[in-house]
Amino acid sequence: MFTDKDVPKFTDKDVQKIGEAMVKWLNSPTLERTLYREAVARAKACTAGFFDGLGELTKLAEVDRKQSIAERLNLVLAECPFIPQIDIEVWRPRMNIWGEARRKRVEFFFNIRPVMETEIKGSSKEWHQWDAIQRELVLLLDLWRMQGVEKIRRCKQCGRFFYMLRSDHQSCSARCREDFYKQTSEARAKRNKRLRENYRLKKSANIG
């Protein structure tokens, strides 16, 4: 087993490249004529649900958040038995008889457990279905290893997924950002104030 500190260092461009490939797949339509369309649509829906659920984990402690992300990711990876699962082990501080922690650190260990093809049972149709989603789920696992899964979010305005270049981004484009801002209470208050000011100026001009 190894900790998340032992993961090889990746550049931001490496993480962004994998993240944008995942976003492209999530936003692409599932064609009606695509072979094994149901398997692809199910895997895409599971992956989208995974990313949508990350927002509710932000208030958790770091070790609990990492554990929850890995557990939820395993549910998505289970769509294809070719993809390794993540073994999770959390070492928390042990307490002595005085209630003091023997270890101050809480360590999160994970291990990517390989799957042997001899362990996989299924019909030829199921094997082809798994082949259709294997590449994308491998990308998802790589993105998790790069600690980049939390950088993919759904746009607040149009609902499409996007890769966050900054942690405060909530929209996929400048247009969506402007449209989303127009719907906020702050924008409505400024607009109403501007309309009242224009009305006051027109009224004073007519009186004059």
- Give tens-digit pLDDT for 171-208: 888 888 888 777 777 767 766 677 777 767 776 776 65
User: What percentage of residues in the chain have a pLDDT greater than 70?
Assistant: 70
Structure-model confidence comparison of residues 126 and 158, the more confident one: 158
Nearest-CA neighbor of 105 among 70, 145, 148, 61? 61
Distances from the Cα of 84 to the Cα of 4, 89, 141, 145, angstroms: 17, 16, 9, 12
The pLDDT tens digits for 74-133 are 899 888 877 888 877 766 666 655 655 555 455 556 666 655 555 556 566 666 777 778
The pLDDT tens digits for 2-30 are 445 555 567 888 999 999 999 999 998 87
Which value, in Å, is the radius of gyration of the alpha carbons in the chain? 24
Nearest-CA neighbor of 108 among 96, 91, 123, 125? 91
